[in-house]
Amino acid sequence: MKKVFLAAAALIVLTVMLSTAACKSSTTTSTVTSTVISPGNGAVINSDSVDTVKIVSISAQTIGYPWLLDVVIDSTSNVGTLPNPVATSVGNTVTVVTDQDMSKYKVNDIITAKIKYAGDVNIPGGIRLYLYSAASQ
């Protein structure tokens, strides 16, 4: 029962934070890190967004996810009622990981993709923004 209460409280706090943050705008570029959000048992909260991004950097990785990218969020849309992990990041650079083959893309390409939280809060540095369904624009 305590876990259910904590999960509900975390969802309420997230909703208030996203509602408040969505009212703000930014004209400066900065790096944004993901917030640790967990419904309990280590799993991150279900989230999703549909985004247009500009690739700033692409790095192939030898451990973990195969690709690490820095992208500027040009635009973002919610997916149903799920929390949008990049709702407050429009105009900002965020770091994302992906399993999708990014070798066909290059710096300054503009793509559409979906971004969600992925990982496990019980692992240090385990929460990431995960990019998938990438397509050239």
Tokens of 90: 């429009």
Per-residue model confidence as pLDDT tens digits over 68-83: 999 999 999 999 999 9
pLDDT at 33 over 70: no
pLDDT at 16 over 50: no
| Phi then psi dihedrals of residue 18, to 5 deg | -65, -40
The mean predicted confidence, pLDDT, of the chain is: 80
Cα separation of 39 and 28, whole Å? 32
Looking at residue 82, its amino acid is L
The helix/strand/coil state of 22 is helix
Tokens of 17: 């934070």
Cα separation of 30 and 55, whole Å? 15
pLDDT reported for residue 18: 45
The string of DSSP codes covering 37-98 is --SBTTBPPP--EEEEEEEEEEEE-SSSSSEEEEEEEEEEEE-TTS--TTTT-BTSEEEEEE
Separation of CA 85 from chain center: 5
Nearest to 75 by CA among 55, 51, 95, 109: 51
The better pLDDT of the pair 36, 68 is held by: 68
Nearest to 88 by CA among 18, 27, 31: 18
State pTM to two decimals: 0.70
The helix/strand/coil state of 48 is coil
pLDDT at 40 over 90: no
The better pLDDT of the pair 39, 65 is held by: 65
Domain map of the chain by residue range? 2-136
pLDDT reported for residue 66: 96
